[in-house]
Amino acid sequence: MRVVIAGQGYVGLPLAVRAAQVGHDVVGYDTDARRVKQLAAGESYVEDIPSAQVKEILDAGRYRATAEPRELGGFDIAVITVPTPLREGVPDLTYIEDCARTLSRYLRPGATVVLESTTYPGTTEELVGPLLEEGSGLAAGRDFHLGYSPERIDPGNPTWNLVNTPKVVSGIDAESLAVVDGFYGSLVDRTVPVTSPKEAELVKLIENTFRHVNIALVNEVAMFAHDLGIDVWEAIDACSTKPFGFMRFTPGPGVGGHCLPIDPSYLSWRVQRTLGQSFRFVELANDVNNHMPDYVVRRLTAAFNARQRSVNGSRVLLLGLAYKKNTGDARESPSTRIARLLLDLGAEVSAVDPHVDLAQRVDARLVRVELTAEAVAAADAVVLLVDHDDLDLALVREHAAYILDCRRSLGRADNVEVL
């Protein structure tokens, strides 16, 4: 089939590569001309997709990247994988709306459009469908197929990927579901059909709300346990030996990326707008997780005070700017807020992250350095925020005067304090 993947980010590019690998003719559409130029040269900017895979599908003539809408014509299936940010707590569906309007100009009878962008329940049927109908003059269900399939990409995960992670699929009617299921069935090992797009849209929000709430739980417990003089990490280790009724979550400096800081708020917003009720679990989790960077800075301040030092004028080395381990994505990263808080307090802050490129500016005052013995020894404090596998933690432990380990990755040592 001729497939259009609209959006060539961490969700869209793996989908486009896989679709081309199994034999579909794929157009990767993105409005970012810089991205398109890189892809056309066979260069991948998504860590889970090697450049060799992009070059392979380019050479096979199965894939081309474009920023030109006119090259989208004649598609059999189009998948929308564009961003859905929050703007002052309100879902911003501008990218979805613009993409749907663009696709509507090239929509033809018998074609299929699938939304993958994370959003609130009802978006596919109440927003995307009408926009496609308005721009094409066709009717959803009667003239073209429409469905929703939540993305489940976990950047940096070496075990679970697009192919072996079950794919939830839906359609606005039986025929739409059959087409959507058939398409994804050609890409992944297993599909999970659900009744309608609303259930599929809710799936993604439940999954991320579950993680968000449980991370907030252990983060709050960690703060209380520290004040009570209890090792929360040892307690969590012991909890993890229970073979039923417990799932392991661990404390950290906060949550980041597109999913946890944003997606649960989509559900909270929808509940408030439609039902006039508050989603208290999400609001509480937001409050706890959003303030974890402040707690990290308070702990570091207390450590300086105990050594009769001030944060102002001290040299702090941050390890990790990404929002999670083994990825270069710094969107909504708690490391960003920690860096800014320390800079505002007068600290001299430097940071190490071999995955985050310089294009993702954190703060103009932040100095990027390589991880060397000299850089570690020069710091009055080192804060481990992201435990990338390629960070030399033994070097850090050997040369650091003091370490605040927010991931419990450095083991027990006289110069290590665990969050």
Q: What is the pLDDT of residue 363?
A: 74
Nearest by Cα to 218 from 260, 248, 256: 248
* CA gyration radius, the chain: 23
Q: What is the pLDDT of residue 358?
A: 65
**CA–CA separation, 20 vs 16, rounded Å?**
6
The predicted-structure confidence for 316-359, as pLDDT tens digits, reads as follows 999 999 999 998 888 889 999 999 999 999 999 999 999 888 65
Most distant pair of Cα atoms in the chain: their distance: 74
Q: In this model, does residue 362 exceed pLDDT 70? A: no
Q: What is the pLDDT of residue 259?
A: 72
Q: At 329, phi and psi to the nearest 5?
A: -85, 115
The predicted-structure confidence for 272-324, as pLDDT tens digits, reads as follows 888 998 888 989 999 999 999 999 999 999 999 999 999 999 999 999 999 99
pLDDT band at 84 (very low <50, low <70, confident <90, very high): very high
- Which residues have a Cβ under 8 Å from the Cβ of 355 and sit 6 or more positions away? 47, 322, 326, 327, 328, 388
Q: If you average pLDDT over residues 380-397, what whole number do you get?
A: 96
Residue type, 229: G
Q: In this model, does residue 131 exceed pLDDT 80? A: yes
Residue 344 Cα to chain centre, angstroms:
27
3-state secondary structure of 78: strand
Residue type, 296: V
Looking at residue 366, the DSSP 8-state letter turns out to be P
The answer to pTM > 0.85 is yes
Weakest-pLDDT range from 80-94, 250-264, 277-291:
250-264
**Percent above pLDDT 90 for the chain:** 85
The single residue listed with the structure tokens 């398109």 is 36
Active site residues: 259
CB burial readout 112-137, b (16+ within 10 A) else e: bbbbbbbbbbebbbebbbebbbebbe
CA dihedral 253, 217, 250, 393 (to 10 degrees): 20
The single residue listed with the structure tokens 């009802």 is 122
Residue 368: C-alpha distances to residues 54, 208, 209, 320, 336 (Å): 30, 32, 33, 11, 13
- Which residues have a Cβ under 8 Å from the Cβ of 374 and sit 6 or more positions away? none
Please measure the distance between the N-terminal and C-terminal CA atoms of the chain and give it in whole angstroms. Answer: 52
The predicted-structure confidence for 140-178, as pLDDT tens digits, reads as follows 999 999 999 999 998 888 899 999 999 999 999 999 999
Q: What is the pLDDT of residue 384?
A: 98
Helices marked H in 229-321: 232-239, 263-275, 280-290, 292-306
> For residue 269, what are its two tokens?
């917003």
Residue 189 Cα to chain centre, angstroms:
23
Mean pLDDT score of the chain: 94
Cβ atoms 46, 12 nearer than 8 A: no
The predicted-structure confidence for 26-66, as pLDDT tens digits, reads as follows 999 999 999 999 999 999 999 899 999 999 999 999 999 99
Q: What is the pLDDT of residue 359?
A: 57
User: What is the DSSP pairing of strand 90-91 with strand 86-87?
Assistant: antiparallel
Nearest by Cα to 24 from 59, 52, 60, 62: 62
Q: Is 274 exposed, middle or buried (0-12, 13-18, 19+ CB in 10 A)?
A: exposed
The predicted-structure confidence for 174-208, as pLDDT tens digits, reads as follows 999 999 999 999 999 999 999 999 999 999 999 99
Helices marked H in 164-279: 174-185, 197-228, 232-239, 263-275
Q: What count of residues does the chain have? A: 419
> For residue 7, what are its two tokens?
């959006």
pLDDT band at 361 (very low <50, low <70, confident <90, very high): low
Nearest by Cα to 282 from 255, 257, 250, 252: 255
Q: What is the pLDDT of residue 215?
A: 96
Q: If you average pLDDT over residues 228-236, what whole number do you get?
A: 97
Nearest by Cα to 182 from 114, 136, 132: 114
Which sign, positive or negative, has the C-alpha torsion 198, 200, 201, 202? positive
Nearest by Cα to 51 from 63, 62, 39, 60: 39
3-state secondary structure of 168: strand
Residue type, 16: A
